[in-house]
Amino acid sequence: MFGINFSLLMNLTMLPLCYAMIIYLTSPYGTIGIKRGFNHILGGISSVLVVMLIFLVTPDIKNDYSPFVNAFFIIGPREELSKLVVFLILGRISRRKNEHPMATMFYVGMIGLGFAVVENVQYVGMYGESILGIRLFTATIAHMLFGMFMGYWLAKGNLDNGLGNRSVFGVIVHRDPKIKGLIYTFIGLLAAIGYHGLWNYNLMISYSAYGDGFTDVSSNTIMIMLIVFGLVGVKFAGDDLNASYRRQLKN
| Alpha-carbon gap, residue 213 to 139, rounded angstroms | 13
Indicate the residue type of 33: G
| Alpha-carbon gap, residue 47 to 190, rounded angstroms | 18
User: What local confidence, expressed as pLDDT, does residue 1 receive?
Assistant: 45
Q: For the chain, how big is the Rg over CA atoms in Å?
A: 19
Indicate the residue type of 215: T
User: What local confidence, expressed as pLDDT, does residue 62 receive?
Assistant: 54
User: What local confidence, expressed as pLDDT, does residue 118 receive?
Assistant: 95
Cα→Cα distances 1→6, 11, 14, 59, 128, Å: 9, 17, 20, 39, 21
Q: How many residues does the chain have?
A: 251
User: What local confidence, expressed as pLDDT, does residue 113 receive?
Assistant: 97
Question: How deeply is 103 buried, as exposed, middle or buried, from its count of CB atoms within 10 A (0-12, 13-18, 19+)?
Answer: buried
Which residues contact residue 220 at a Cβ distance below 8 angstroms, ignoring those fewer than 6 apart? 214
What are the residue ranges in the chain where pLDDT is below 50?
A: 1, 209-215
Read off the pTM: 0.89
User: What local confidence, expressed as pLDDT, does residue 93 receive?
Assistant: 77
H runs (alpha helix) in 95-216? 101-127, 132-136, 139-158, 168-174, 177-210
| Alpha-carbon gap, residue 174 to 163, rounded angstroms | 7
**DSSP-assigned states of every residue in 16-73:** HHHHHHHHHHHSPTTS--HHHHHHHHHHHHHHHHHHHHHHHHS---GGGS-HHHIIII
**Residues 163-175: tens digit of each pLDDT:** 555 666 666 766 7
Q: Domain map of the chain by residue range?
A: 6-246
